[in-house]
Structure 1
Amino acid sequence: MYQKIILVVCFVFIQLKATIYSQVNHITTRTNINLTDWKFKKGIWYNAQKKDYNTNSWGNVKVPHTYSMDAIEKTGYYKGEAWYRTSIDVPQSMKNERIFIRFEGVGQEAQVYLNEKSLGKHIGGYSAFIYEITDVVEFNKKNLIAVKVTNEPNFKRIPVDDKLFNHYGGIYRPVQIFSTPKQNISPNYYASPGIFIEQQELSSQLATLEIKIHVSSSTKNKPSTLSYKVFDRENNLIISKNQLVSFSEKEQIVSQKLEIENPILWNGKMNPYLYKLEVELNHYGKIDKVIQAFGLRTFKVDPEKGFFLNDKPYRLNGVAIHQEWKDNGPALSNEQHQKDIDLIDEMGATSIRMSHYQHSDLQYQLADKKGLLVWAEIPFVHDYSGREQGNAKQQLRELILQNYNHPSIYVWGLWNEVRAWKGKNAPPVLLTQDLNKLAHSLDKTRLTASASDRGMISNMGNISDLQAWNKYFGWYYGEYEDMGKWLDNARKEYPEIELGISEYGVGGNIYQQDVAKLEKPIGNYFPESVQTNYHEVTWKIIKDRPFVWSSYIWNMFDFSVAGWNRGGIQNLNHKGLVTFDRAIKKDAFYFYKANWNKEPMLYIAEQRNNIRTSSKTNVKIFTNINKVTLYLNGKKVRSLKQTADLNTIIFENINLTKGKNIIEVKGKIQKEIVAHKVIWELK
């Protein structure tokens, strides 16, 4: 039984009048330049970092950018090298300051050059990395930045294969150059914010915090002053404190205790309350300032009663997501990230599994603001080589340190569907043990988790604090109802183990509606209504078992898997509740919205099944309104009230007439009328 209470304080993005670097979860007074315009060429090109290299045949691209769109557009995709180059005039305002270049994500490896000098190589396609370039930049002339990128396989890098999702190549997240004073709140510590807030005690009367700040100096060490200010959500100053920093070493960690009286908790979607912390390092008038937000909360998991947030039961009704769109791959804009989180929030989910890798920092920030609890994880997925230990530990360290300060993140995911066929001493088992220890050494406030497709007891199982299972009853094996049997048997046989569902779902193609043609699980016909029915059955099973500490639909959005040829559309996993381009919300989306979102809604299922061959039909309604009235071709048929607990009303034996039929339903909440209309044609 895992009863440890977790106390966390975290940061989010806040829009203020300050210069920021995009999607980094803090705001600073630092001068910043976004590098968006690049020259690009796919292929192996020797010495492309040289200033006199001829790029006349190169194309022009905008970053964020990926060169792997062929993974979506056709079978197979290019796996290899490509180059990016750009030139920049470094402004005089950065002179006599420290200058850095930060990449938020490059898939999957990046060798970076500045003015022909190698700055370093980063291996891992999903985490940020940073280099100090103070001694390499030149003023009053162009500075050449060249980046050699590759997404070719590397068995020393996780993930070691792309069987479950595409490994896109390219500079697909923002790149910034920025400067700080010579004494700074260090941005160089694993590209993290440089500030970590640890909550040590929490009661209704008092929250005790320890703030740890990484500070750095590139000059002769003289004392500086650190000032701390805490503001509430209404921007009222509630704490002010100063501290002297001696800079006995060029790199050091400074800590400070702060106390908040009568704290207000970050309470999920009910009240995602955020405080604001302003930290200022003042060295003889040279100021480096970082502004962050943080939230206060506790959680625990009980094998009998499930998940608790702030000591109260809280259902983690979740979705898993990949970070890609049909026309952009993973190279997404801020608006697209916002759209994804808005859709998840609209459906009423309370949690997100951001699978199977570190996501854009902006998505974590948006989850903070929406009150969505997040399962964050590294790409230790499916297979292993036995040679990826170092890179897996690096990516876990980057994930935790770069995202330590998000209140939404409650768990660090260590692996997904990794199978240790060779026993308890197999490389992935030993690596998981090391990863679990590393996670707890870096963050004492959160849990670890893993997602298994094996049995309750396995070589990889139950090493992390929490275990969840990917279960696809009725799609790859068994029947829908077997989910309930499995959960009940597991609960009975292993009462001490917390039970979570890390994935569940089936395919659904909005262009396919004939249930008689279903070809599961790898055929070419996945009717949308089959997907809907699966979720109706499976959600009731999960809902009726409060001991299930989490459940995550696979997947919120359709996504690409190069080489797949299933469900009538190549290179696509159809299990999403929303289409790959985000244009269509499938019927199952509205089923969950009716059950998870309290805002009044009314939806007629099977609206795309609009060609009917039988005059007698049922009309299924997803709604959280108690009473609904059905109209056929403008005439009232009858009214029905909710009688089940799945917010579903079915009007049976409705007689259609030949030709077009207008089916409309209406409901009323107080004085508000909610309606939905579809047209079905009887042939």
Structure 2
Amino acid sequence: MKKLNVFLLLTINCLFFAQAQNDLITNTQGRETISLNGTWYYIIDPYDTGFYNYRFKERNEDDKGAYWNEPKLESKTEWTEHDYKEPNQINVPGDWNSQDRIFAYYEGSVWYQRDFDMPEMEPNEELYLYFGAVNYEAHVYLNGKKIGMHKGGFTPFNFKIPTEILKDTANYLVVRVDNKRHSEEIPTLNTDWWNYGGITRDVKLIVTPKQFIQQYHLQLDENQDIVSGQKKKRYQIKGWLKFNETVKDAAVTLKIPELKLEKEFLVSGDSLNLAFEVKKLNLWSTHDPKLYDVNLTIGNHTLKDKIGFRKIEVDGEKIMLNGKQIFLRGISLHEEIPQDVRRAHSKKDAKQLFKWAQDLNANMVRLAHYPHNEYMPRVADSLGVLLWTEIPVYWTINFGSKEVLEKAQTQLKEMISRDRNRASVIIWSVGNETPVSETRTEFMSTLVKDAKKLDPSRLVSAALEVGYSAGVNNVDDPLGEFTDIVSLNEYLGWYTGLPDACRTAKWETKYKKPFFISETGAGAKGGFHDVKEMRFSEEYQEWYYKEQINMFKNRFPDNFAGLSPWILADFRSPRRNNPDFQEGWNRKGLIDNEGNKKLAFFVLKNYYQELKQIQEKKD
């Protein structure tokens, strides 16, 4: 009887395994894939009718009223209350809000549907379904069978497609997308950005062998010393490979053709540690973003990537890139194309945003307040732009909830897993403007420790808030004990006082670490001009930046290591409802929603040009 119970338990686990998310397959660009981007059909479902029956119970798998099932009417007496037909079509990738006015403020469920034919595959190959991101909750069905679900609006996920449900043609793929906000999710109910819904990033089929490299990490050994001005002939590289299953007595070949390097590693197990030496390596940097073709082969399967090798570290109160102190001339940005009022999702979009940042003389970008699409770090790699990327642990989440912490940990793991081989990413951030308490600090410090375990080769931070005491701006948040750099959001002259308050401001920091201004800024409606004292005029914003820069130059601590003002371009936010100046837009952008540069853009550009010239003289 005991054996029978064990058998039944294993059977039940197997039945539900298909609905569990598989570990992430990284670097889909270097694999055999078939794009499922394009035109999909949709049904708007604000009452979740396709998911629940009239007793509000989740529908059975074979329920004809379930929207994951294809409505097939075989006689005139049969009927249905759903179908996927023209003109209800929508583009993937893309948010739904920008594609039709009916979606403008919509938060709820939308069902997506398209067909696909099974690609040509060898007998020993398998098929995975990959999503770059779906905001926020996704339930995925194929040919009437649920193959998985995922929560988190900004990180990728994938599912192995069971071969027994695949058809040669017309595979019926349905995705229920739900972007409703909830108090126990990440982010929570209260944010200051637009809750764009939809399948917002690429969808792909991935063809893999039965055994393949699922994830990997390859970078300079973080324990290797790099001294400024000292040329090294040899560098130590280390890393690891993770396989989708246990591999027995196989060999992995690693090639870096440009370095004339080829090494073979024997493997027995589900992972493999790598360590080797290379000669004449050009380190990746902001002025020379050198990328090397890296090929990893197991059996007849080769995985290709382009990787830059560099070292980022903290030396006392300095941030060091490849052994040289670097000042981060940054700017923050949202994943948004303002002139189109939509989510950014393509390589072309990434190039536009980074072009603006480089016009500013920035060498660093803060990707706020969530992981951006995968084109962003890849384009940054090619341009030599440094990145801060973070998870949406934002403002008022439930820091006392174990379940909420687990959701934050999952999103942190997914973010790091996807981008750990991108040289441009130098800072993982675990949150923004979280209110100080013992419970919150325990929550946040746990995430900092997790990030360091997942990737010890980068810096970890979080955007903190300033404290005020006896006329002094204090940097004393207890979370600063755990982070590698102390990052602060300050708006002296916008939310507090006028810009000339910067002239007498006093700053103190208790931490002997690099001090970074992760946000500062003021609102201005593009094209609105008045005296500098007039709020929302371009002149006020210009005045604000001039006073801030003078404060940075003359009144800031010696450990000042950089800044990323808020923000590159105006972005949509339902919180911003002044009918004269905001109209549903956060106007702190240095570029307006039509793509025009405001006066303050040029103030910051000139400051960054000065800093750039100082850096070049040192180099």
TM over 0.5: yes
Counterpart of 1:230 in structure 2 is 256
CA offsets per residue over residues 442-492 of structure 1, 9 Å max, x none? 111222111122412245554423221111111110233444654x5315x
Matched, 1:257 2:275: yes
Matches within 5 A, 1:98-497: 98-186=126-214, 193-197=215-219, 199-200=221-222, 201-203=224-226, 204-217=232-245, 223-231=249-257, 236-246=258-268, 249=269, 252-268=270-286, 270-282=287-299, 286-303=300-317, 306-326=318-338, 327-385=340-398, 386-387=400-401, 388-420=404-436, 423-424=437-438, 426=439, 428-455=440-467, 456-458=475-477, 460-483=479-502, 485-486=504-505, 488-491=506-509, 494=510, 496-497=512-513
Counterpart of 1:78 in structure 2 is 106
1:579: Cα distance to partner? 1.6
Aligned-partner SS, 1:557: coil
Matched, 1:561 2:585: no
Structure with greater helix share of residues: 2
Query: Does the aligned pair in 1 maintain the 2:519–2:563 contact within 8 Å?
Result: yes
Report the CA distance shift for 1:485/1:229 in structure 2 as closer, same or farther (over 3 A): farther
Counterpart of 2:57 in structure 1 is none
Counterpart of 2:603 in structure 1 is 591
Query: Does the aligned pair in 1 maintain the 2:310–2:322 contact within 8 Å?
Result: no
1:51: Cα distance to partner? 2.1
Report the CA distance shift for 1:465/1:208 in structure 2 as closer, same or farther (over 3 A): same
Counterpart of 1:531 in structure 2 is 541
Supply the distance in 2 between the matched residues of 1:89 and 1:168 (Cα, whole angstroms). 30
Supply the distance in 2 between the matched residues of 1:484 and 1:447 (Cα, whole angstroms). 32
If the length of structure 2 is used for normalisation, what is the TM-score?
0.81
1:351: Cα distance to partner? 1.0
Aligned-partner SS, 1:92: coil
1:105: Cα distance to partner? 0.7
Task: Tell me which moved more, 559-568 or 454-463.
Answer: 454-463
> What residue ranges of structure 2 are gaps of 5+ in the alignment?
1-24, 51-65, 72-81, 227-231, 468-474, 615-619
Report the CA distance shift for 1:469/1:358 in structure 2 as closer, same or farther (over 3 A): same
Task: Tell me which moved more, 337-346 or 202-211.
Answer: 202-211
Match of 1:573 among 562, 586, 590: 586
Once superposed, which parts of structure 1, at least 4 consecutive aligned residues long, lie more than 6 Å away? 73-76
Aligned-partner SS, 2:311: strand
Query: Does the aligned pair in 2 maintain the 1:75–1:570 contact within 8 Å?
Result: no
Supply the distance in 2 between the matched residues of 1:145 and 1:197 (Cα, whole angstroms). 38
1:573: Cα distance to partner? 0.6
Query: Does the aligned pair in 1 maintain the 2:90–2:96 contact within 8 Å?
Result: no
Aligned residues: 543
Report the CA distance shift for 1:74/1:350 in structure 2 as closer, same or farther (over 3 A): farther
Task: Tell me which moved more, 552-561 or 383-392.
Answer: 383-392
Counterpart of 2:43 in structure 1 is 41
What is the letter of the counterpart of residue 30 of structure 2?
A: T
Supply the distance in 1 between the matched residues of 2:592 and 2:519 (Cα, whole angstroms). 18
Report the CA distance shift for 1:194/1:85 in structure 2 as closer, same or farther (over 3 A): farther
Matches within 5 A, 1:532-681: 532-544=542-554, 545=556, 547-566=559-578, 568-581=581-594, 583-597=595-609
1:383: Cα distance to partner? 0.8
What is the letter of the counterpart of residue 271 of structure 1?
A: D
1:598: Cα distance to partner? 8.2
Structure with greater strand share of residues: 1
Supply the distance in 2 between the matched residues of 1:83 and 1:108 (Cα, whole angstroms). 13
1:584: Cα distance to partner? 0.8
What is the letter of the counterpart of residue 89 of structure 2?
A: N
Report the CA distance shift for 1:398/1:36 in structure 2 as closer, same or farther (over 3 A): same
Supply the distance in 1 between the matched residues of 2:500 and 2:103 (Cα, whole angstroms). 35
Supply the distance in 2 between the matched residues of 1:113 and 1:29 (Cα, whole angstroms). 24
Matched, 1:64 2:93: yes
Query: Does the aligned pair in 1 maintain the 2:178–2:197 contact within 8 Å?
Result: yes
Query: Does the aligned pair in 1 maintain the 2:532–2:539 contact within 8 Å?
Result: no
1:81: Cα distance to partner? 0.9
1:278: Cα distance to partner? 1.1
1:217: Cα distance to partner? 4.8
Report the CA distance shift for 1:382/1:136 in structure 2 as closer, same or farther (over 3 A): farther
Query: Does the aligned pair in 2 maintain the 1:108–1:167 contact within 8 Å?
Result: no
Q: What is the CA RMSD across the aligned residues, in angstroms?
A: 2.8
Counterpart of 1:91 in structure 2 is 119
Aligned-partner SS, 2:70: coil
Aligned-partner SS, 1:553: coil
Supply the distance in 2 between the matched residues of 1:394 and 1:142 (Cα, whole angstroms). 34
Query: Does the aligned pair in 2 maintain the 1:563–1:570 contact within 8 Å?
Result: no
Report the CA distance shift for 1:461/1:229 in structure 2 as closer, same or farther (over 3 A): closer
Query: Does the aligned pair in 1 maintain the 2:532–2:543 contact within 8 Å?
Result: no
Query: Does the aligned pair in 2 maintain the 1:372–1:408 contact within 8 Å?
Result: yes
> What residue ranges of structure 1 are gaps of 5+ in the alignment?
1-22, 187-192, 520-525, 601-623, 625-644, 646-683
1:436: Cα distance to partner? 1.4
Report the CA distance shift for 1:75/1:484 in structure 2 as closer, same or farther (over 3 A): farther
1:119: Cα distance to partner? 1.5
Report the CA distance shift for 1:122/1:332 in structure 2 as closer, same or farther (over 3 A): same
CA offsets per residue over residues 518-576 of structure 1, 9 Å max, x none? 24xxxxxx111211121122123224555311211100010011141236231101111
What is the letter of the counterpart of residue 91 of structure 1?
A: P
Counterpart of 1:677 in structure 2 is none
Task: Tell me which moved more, 354-363 or 25-34.
Answer: 25-34
What is the letter of the counterpart of residue 598 of structure 2?
A: K
Query: Does the aligned pair in 1 maintain the 2:344–2:350 contact within 8 Å?
Result: no
What is the letter of the counterpart of residue 391 of structure 1?
A: K
Report the CA distance shift for 1:74/1:343 in structure 2 as closer, same or farther (over 3 A): farther
CA offsets per residue over residues 84-138 of structure 1, 9 Å max, x none? 0111001223654111111001111111111111121111100000111142552
1:173: Cα distance to partner? 0.6
What is the letter of the counterpart of residue 35 of structure 2?
A: I
Aligned-partner SS, 1:168: coil
CA offsets per residue over residues 492-526 of structure 1, 9 Å max, x none? xx36354221101101112310127724xxxxxx1
Supply the distance in 2 between the matched residues of 1:490 and 1:130 (Cα, whole angstroms). 47
If the length of structure 1 is used for normalisation, what is the TM-score?
0.74
1:276: Cα distance to partner? 2.6
